[in-house]
Amino acid sequence: MIYIILSICCSVTVAILLKLAKRYQISIIQAVTINYLVALSLCFLFFKPDVKLINSTAPWPIYIALAILLPSIFLFLAASVKNLGIVKTDIAQRLSLFIPILAAYFIFKEDFNNLKIIGLALGFVAIFLTFSRKSDQEKGSKGSLLFPIMVFVGFGVIDVLFKQIALYKELPYTTSLFTVFSLSFVVSFLIVITMVISGKIKLQLVNVVCGLILGFFNFGNILFYMKAHKALAENPSTVFAAMNLGVIIAGTLIGVIVFKEKLNKLNYAGIILAIAAVIFITLSQNAVR
């Protein structure tokens, strides 16, 4: 369980860093670029990917799609944390698991049992309640709901694409992961260069420092999550449930207690339903087994 706890800590720490970015005037795109440089370096160090195996037959369309999506969704993630807080953003990210589940049903024709259907129903209600507001609350900021919606959809699509990579047996998963990180760095770097040339941003050392820290914890989340699955190979649903529930609960506690994020009664009801949804989906996986 130590790997799950470490993965949860790394995931929530990423959200905290993004929350603090505004306070210290961090350029998110610069930090994200350094983040991917750190991630691909650590990936090379820990996983020893065999880059010689990468050739023209590799799933390049998926690699390129992920290389564009990953830095883009990171920016939406940062904007969501900034505008709506850690609690709602973490729930949007965790409930994005419904997109690959729906893809499994509609695209891959996977059978659904009653537990999974209940979990999905609870999840969609949870999304509605979590982001509900009082009529007079936060007027003029309706557009900010775009950010968690993009986080929800983006992470869901990314999950589907990574699952497609995992099914590609000609290349080790870690080699594909290294390739995706490398391409994501290139995309982010090109965006930064373009913005610097156009005068929209200036290169600053503080962004490099933030990016180094962000990359360390972002990769730590992936590394410990993979180690947890390896250590509990016979109980993948345990890892799945513990990770998602842990992030939702830890993110909620930190958001409310540390950052004083305000939630109404409907939001709290949404959080409870989100937890229930993850539990039902986990139970549905055990039922299939």
Whole-number pLDDT of residue 288: 54
Q: Rg for the chain (alpha carbons), in Å?
A: 19
| Total tally of structural domains belonging to the chain | 1
205-221: b (≥16 Cβ within 10 Å) or e: eebeebbebbbbbbbbb
Whole-number pLDDT of residue 31: 95
Q: How many CB atoms lie within 10 A of CB 106?
A: 9
> What would the two tokens of residue 12 be?
């929530």
Residue 176: partners with Cβ closer than 8 Å, 6 or more residues away: 58, 59, 63, 165, 168
Domain that holds residue 186: 2-288
Helix (H, G, I), strand (E, B) or coil at 267: helix
Q: What is the pLDDT along the chain (289 residues), one digit of tens a residue?
A: 799 999 999 999 999 999 998 788 899 999 999 999 999 999 999 999 999 999 999 999 999 999 999 999 999 999 999 888 999 999 999 999 888 888 877 776 677 789 888 998 999 899 889 988 765 455 445 557 889 999 999 999 999 999 889 888 899 999 999 999 999 999 999 999 999 999 988 999 999 999 999 999 999 999 999 999 888 887 777 888 899 999 999 999 999 999 999 899 999 999 999 999 999 988 887 665 5
Whole-number pLDDT of residue 141: 52
The torsion of the CA quartet 16, 22, 26, 30, rounded to 10 degrees, works out to 80
Q: How many CB atoms lie within 10 A of CB 240?
A: 19
pTM strictly above 0.85: yes
Whole-number pLDDT of residue 140: 46
